[in-house]
Structures are given as C-alpha cells and as structure tokens.
Structure 1
Amino acid sequence: MAPKVFLTGANGFVASHILAQLIENKYEVVASVRSPAKAEEVLALHPSYKTAALSFTYIADIATPGAFDDVFKSTEPGFDYVFHTASPVNFSVKDAQKELIDPAVQGTIGIIESAHKLGGKTLKRFVLLGSAVAVLNSFEDMSKAGKPYTEADWNPVTADYAISHNDMVAAYNVAKILAERAAWAFVETAKPGFDLVVINPDIIIGPMLQAVNSAKAVNETNTFAVYSFFNGTNKKIEEVAFPFYHFVDVRDVARAHVLALEKPAAGGKRNLLVAGLITPQLVANLIRKNFPELRERVAEGTPEQTLPKGVQPTGWDTSRNFEVFGPDWRYIGLEESLVDTVKSILELEKQWK
C-alpha cells in the first residue's frame, strides 16, 4: 500500500513541484487548496493527475483554529507524512502582523497541533517548508563576508523591528522564524509520535507548474529575481538590490522534501538548501546570453562586475545535504535554473496576450 501524504497549499509555487514529484513517486496524496475552483485549476493544468492517487480538501483560511482537524479526522487509517508549505510570501502587504506574521505562525501551530491530536499512530514525519531567512542575519554587514551560516544559526530580527521600520522583507523573515520556532517548541514540549524536519531554502526560482493567469500572478521570488529584468522594472542594473544573494531551484526544493520523507538522517533536523550565488548582474548576463531576443528588454549593466558594489555576502555551509540526502545530492546551477525560469515565463506571456 502506497504511503499517504497530506500536502498543504498544493497549488503554490513550491508545493506544485512537490505534488508532481509525489505523484511521480507513486505516493497517495491528499492536497489542500482554498476552494474547489483551485482544485479544478490544478487538474486543468495537469490532466494526468486525474488518474493519480490524488484527492483534494478545502481550507479557506489556514489560520482559523481547528482548520485542519477535519482532514485528519476523515482520513483512515491516517497519514504517513505531512508536508506543510502553505504560508504567505508577499512583500507588498499593508499590515505585516495580520497579513504575514500571524497566518504563518498560526497556520503552522494549527496543523502541527491537529497532526498530534488527530494524526493517530500512523504519522511518522512532519516536514515544514521553512526558509534560509530564519537562519541568516537580517542585519548582516554586506560589505564583508562572514563565517558561513549553518543550521545552528538563527536570524535575530524581531517583529517589533520589522513593524516599527515598516520593513516588509524583515516582516517576512520574522514570519518564517516564528513559525519554525513554534514548530520546534511544540515537538519539544508535546513529544508527538512523529518527528519534525525543516527545509530551509534561500531565494527560490525556477519554472512554474502552478496556475499563473497574469504577469501579476508570477510568484514573488521569480518576479523580483528573474522577471523584473525583462518586464520593464529594472532599467538600471546598478540600482537593483536583492534582499539576499543566494538561490536554489524550486525542483531541488521539491526533491529535498520528497527525499526527506524516508531518510532516517533527516529526522529532527533543519536542512539548508543553497545552490549558489545570484546577483542582479549575473541574472542580466545570463538572460542576455541565452535569450538574444530579450536583449532589448534587459539592461546590460556592467557585465564583468557580477557582485554589486560594496557587497560580499556571507556564504553557507550545506554539508548536511550530503549527510541527509546522500552522496549523490547535486544542485541545479544558476544558468540552467534561470534559462528554465525564463522559458516558463515566456510561454506564459503568450497566454496573457
């Protein structure tokens, strides 16, 4: 009998790739989305899913108390694994507390409590999509590289700082920090029958499998790290700043989630996912190199100056990847990831016109 997985936020950027890989690997999946219309959207985009071991459940607001109770109650004999990916990623909100921090934290606490209370004896592992922003230092001195970050590090930024400075990037960081800390604290105190794994990726880019019905619907990270270079936003490369300067491809993030399900070494650990450097100039260079037809849309900048002036970002120790995922673990490189992302966006642009 195939292992049964509950996947939240299944129509999101990362979760769409997780869903595809779960189906490919013959897992039985119960996927949560906000409404039946969202489920139909997924099936319309991926008709082959109609014959897969896939069903949907509908959760309009993950922050509602008990939002996940019914799906655990109605699943017999129970789930083997849970993936929690549903969390807001939006740097343009007006109320950081209500729109970013509270949903992330309450959603995580709600589902892990439901899993403990109602998950029965079958549930072995809870995998949380965290973020490298819960690890890095929001106050990092970018003028010099520091000691490489490891899974032992925690970002010191606070909600008070983010809100008082109206800093939505910091608020997103806080949301991911507090949600992850809440999950670890729950496991420590409640001692549930399952263990916790957290996946901590940096900027995620890559081709999109989710519904993207307009340019505005391109996910946040693909927008600022890729699409903004040829949609008319970034007209001067030297004026572009990224909040962070390392990336990972969405397919690697999904692969790490699926591998983490049954790898004993993953249990009870955070897992940094960082493939390499990404900077505005590197993005411009690679798009102009691989897509000559876009050169008029992509500013040239200063091709030989790949790091922004005054920026020497701290690196990452990703040695745990090989311990957890095996010696054959490899990352998709920046050029391949960017090329596939741009191709994905260009195909979508044809549909929008």
Structure 2
Amino acid sequence: MLTSRQRGYHITATVRSHEKIDAILKTHPSWKNNIDFTVVADFTTEEPFDDIFHNTTKPFDYVIHTASPLRFQVNDIRKEMIEPAEMGTTKILRAAQKYGGSSLKRFVLLGSAVAVLNSFEDMTKEGKPYTERDWNPVTTEQAVERKDPVLGYNVSKTRAEADAWELMKSNKPTFDLAVINPDIIIGPMIHPISGPRSINQTNQFAIASFIDGTHKDIEGLTFPFYHFVDVRDVARSHVDALTNPAASGQRILLIAGLISPQLVVNIIRENFPQLRERVPEGNPSQILPPGIHPTGWDMRVSIDILAKGTNEKRWNYIDLKQSVIDTVNSMLEHRVI
C-alpha cells in the first residue's frame, strides 16, 4: 500500500491546535518536511476553511474530509454529536465550492456504514443484505428522546452524508463527491499516544476492553454492530478514491467481515499467551452472542469500484485475525494495555 506522500501528493493537514501539531511531529518526525499543518480550532464554521483555500500556495486538487465527533460520553447528543458532524461537512464543502477553483477535482468524504444500516434492525434474524442504496431511517428526535449516544452517532453520520449529497445536487460544483462508508474501524495506531486514554474509541470497545479488565466475562455482551474494517484499508480506500474514475458520485461500502466479542477474544487468547489470563475465555465455539443474527452486506458494487482504484485491479481486505494481532501489538508497543 502506498501512502499519499509516497504517491507524490503534497499534503495540507488540519488539526485542532498547535499542540496537536507538536505531538504529531514528535511521533512522526519524518512528516515535518512533507506535510503542511494548519489549525482549524472550530470546524463548524466556514472561516477557517475559507482561509485554508485562500492561503495555499498551490491550488488543491483533492479534499479528504474525515473529521466527525466519535465520543459516546456526551451530555447533549444534538449539540455535541449531530450538529458538529453536519456543520463540519457542509462548511468545508461550501468553502471548497466557493474557493476551490477549477483545479479541485474531487471531494472524498469519510462517511460510515451506520448511514446505510438500520439502527432498529431485528438482530434475532438476518435480513436482506444492505447495499449502497440503503439509508438509515433513524432520526435526531429518536436519538435525543432515548438519550442514546450510539443512535446519536448514527444520526450524525447519516445527516452529514445526506447533507453532502444534497449540497452537490443543489449547487452543482465543478468537483465531484465520493463517500467511503466503513463499519467498525480497528487497527494499529499511529496517532500520538500518551497512555490508555489515548486508545481511540473503536479500538477501545472492540479490542482493549477485553484486555484491560473492562469485561471480566463476555456472556451476554453484545456489540452495536457486527462488521469491521482495518484502518489501513480505510486509509488506502481514501487515497485510491482520489483518482479512481469509478468512485465518482458513489457511496462505497467498506466491510471486511464479521466481528464479535467472541471472535476477538479467541484471536487474542490464541496469539498472545502472555495476555491469556487477562482475557475472558467465553465460549470459543459460540461465534455470535446467542440470538444474534446480524444482517450482512452485498459488497459486489463496492468491491468492483474499489478494485478499479488499484494498480492490480483487485481489492483484498486485511482479515480480522491480522487486524486484531496488529492492533494488540500496537497497544503493547505503546504500553497502553
């Protein structure tokens, strides 16, 4: 896999503070001369994005937008999750349209599979596989009334993506849009690490929580979703999508396979004997929690689009075993578990 830097792109990256820049460069010193950093303290307003387009010495060819709140410990679901996700997406899109100029070819948006699946899916029976044409019917009112941050996150990603498509339809900018929709993202960490609290949210609940004592047993434990993708495949899909003609105007599903508490603990216990005493055994042969039969995904269209974006014209996912092993090794290396 070639990174965007290895492919010859000059990158301008946004961060929330100057302290973030220092932390990133301390973690990755080699990035200092290859990436320009700019501070966007508040990504829900247009002004900082306007400034980025104004101040660049070379017009942008592509924009990748990945910023969106992913914290489940919130007090106000509407103001802390839903509104920032919607506003962050629409503000940078509007700035791109106003100031991107004729050089801007494509806007790649990191969406989520939660904008596709049904939050109220009956998990006791497998339904018709989801496709790129499906949309989550969950509403802001349902998330707020139930005080459910998982529903709040689902709404935030659904609304942000829907707003992006509506803006493209209404404003007809010169650039096009591609949206990448991954499910649970796990994988090795390259962001600055300063302790266990630095573990990102999905790695924490899907992997670290079975090692750090959060779950002494997995009996009765469920996940909000049961499909995953490795973060390296997510990154690769975004870079490939920049120049892939087949990605134009497409929602692209990114689903590598099944994940469950039992599958994760089986992999950790088998491959990390030094951690075995800390990881609950569960029932190794009971892959999914009793009574859980999640709906699958019809990946034919998305796999075809993803394949067309590679040199080999073939797309292969990192499997769950490799992803979990690499993630746990990353956590051990950073001494956060």
Structure 2, unpaired ranges of 5+: 308-312
- Residues 1:241 and 2:222 are matched in the alignment: yes
Query: Partner of 2:32: helix, strand, or coil?
Result: helix
For 2:114, the aligned partner's letter is: V
- Residues 1:58 and 2:39 are matched in the alignment: yes
Report the alpha carbon displacement of residue 123 of structure 1 after superposing the two structures with TM.
Answer: 0.2
State the partner residue of 2:115: 134
Q: Do the aligned residues in 1 keep the contact of 2:46 with 2:95 (CA within 8 Å)?
A: no
State the partner residue of 1:78: 59
Report the alpha carbon displacement of residue 227 of structure 1 after superposing the two structures with TM.
Answer: 0.3
- Residues 1:26 and 2:11 are matched in the alignment: no
CA distance in 1, matches of 2:296, 2:236: 22
State the partner residue of 1:295: 276
Report the alpha carbon displacement of residue 65 of structure 1 after superposing the two structures with TM.
Answer: 3.8
Of 30, 46, 56 in structure 1, the residue corresponding to residue 28 of structure 2 is 46
For 1:47, the aligned partner's letter is: P
Of 80, 97, 107 in structure 1, the residue corresponding to residue 88 of structure 2 is 107
Report the alpha carbon displacement of residue 48 of structure 1 after superposing the two structures with TM.
Answer: 1.4
CA distance in 2, matches of 1:233, 1:51: 41
State the partner residue of 1:14: none
CA distance in 2, matches of 1:314, 1:279: 14
CA distance in 1, matches of 2:31, 2:12: 12
CA distance in 2, matches of 1:46, 1:246: 31
For 2:218, the aligned partner's letter is: I
Q: Do the aligned residues in 2 keep the contact of 1:285 with 1:300 (CA within 8 Å)?
A: yes
Structure 1 segments (4+ residues) deviating >3 Å: none
Q: Do the aligned residues in 2 keep the contact of 1:125 with 1:195 (CA within 8 Å)?
A: yes
Alignment root-mean-square deviation, CA: 1.3
Q: Do the aligned residues in 1 keep the contact of 2:220 with 2:289 (CA within 8 Å)?
A: no
Query: Partner of 1:126: helix, strand, or coil?
Result: strand
Report the alpha carbon displacement of residue 39 of structure 1 after superposing the two structures with TM.
Answer: 1.0
CA distance in 1, matches of 2:31, 2:52: 20
- Residues 1:334 and 2:316 are matched in the alignment: no
Structural mapping, 1:170-319, within 5 Å: 170-319=151-300
State the partner residue of 1:13: none
State the partner residue of 2:75: 94
Q: Do the aligned residues in 2 keep the contact of 1:67 with 1:110 (CA within 8 Å)?
A: no
Structure 1, unpaired ranges of 5+: 1-16
In the TM superposition, what whole-angstrom CA distance separates every residue of 1:136-161 from its partner, at most 9, and x where no partner exists?
Answer: 00000001111110010000010100
CA distance in 2, matches of 1:87, 1:212: 20
- Residues 1:349 and 2:331 are matched in the alignment: no
State the partner residue of 1:12: none
Q: Do the aligned residues in 1 keep the contact of 2:50 with 2:95 (CA within 8 Å)?
A: yes
Q: Do the aligned residues in 1 keep the contact of 2:115 with 2:154 (CA within 8 Å)?
A: yes
- Residues 1:143 and 2:131 are matched in the alignment: no
Query: Partner of 1:213: helix, strand, or coil?
Result: coil
CA distance in 2, matches of 1:39, 1:209: 14
For 1:230, the aligned partner's letter is: I
Report the alpha carbon displacement of residue 324 of structure 1 after superposing the two structures with TM.
Answer: 1.4
For 1:244, the aligned partner's letter is: F
Query: Partner of 2:165: helix, strand, or coil?
Result: helix
CA distance in 2, matches of 1:114, 1:62: 11
Query: Partner of 1:238: helix, strand, or coil?
Result: coil
In the TM superposition, what whole-angstrom CA distance separates every residue of 1:168-205 from its partner, at most 9, and x where no partner exists?
Answer: 00000000000000100000000000000000000000
Q: Which moved more, 1:316-325 or 1:85-94?
A: 316-325
Query: Partner of 2:109: helix, strand, or coil?
Result: strand
State the partner residue of 1:36: 18
Equivalent pairs: percent with the same residue? Answer: 55
Q: Do the aligned residues in 1 keep the contact of 2:64 with 2:108 (CA within 8 Å)?
A: yes
TM-score normalised by the chain length of structure 1: 0.92
Q: Do the aligned residues in 1 keep the contact of 2:262 with 2:282 (CA within 8 Å)?
A: yes
State the partner residue of 1:162: 143
Report the alpha carbon displacement of residue 347 of structure 1 after superposing the two structures with TM.
Answer: 1.3
Report the alpha carbon displacement of residue 26 of structure 1 after superposing the two structures with TM.
Answer: 2.0
For 1:27, the aligned partner's letter is: Y
Report the alpha carbon displacement of residue 47 of structure 1 after superposing the two structures with TM.
Answer: 1.3
Count of aligned positions: 332
Query: Partner of 1:82: helix, strand, or coil?
Result: strand
For 2:17, the aligned partner's letter is: S
For 1:285, the aligned partner's letter is: N
State the partner residue of 2:310: none
CA distance in 2, matches of 1:24, 1:95: 41
Report the alpha carbon displacement of residue 37 of structure 1 after superposing the two structures with TM.
Answer: 1.5
Query: Partner of 2:64: helix, strand, or coil?
Result: strand
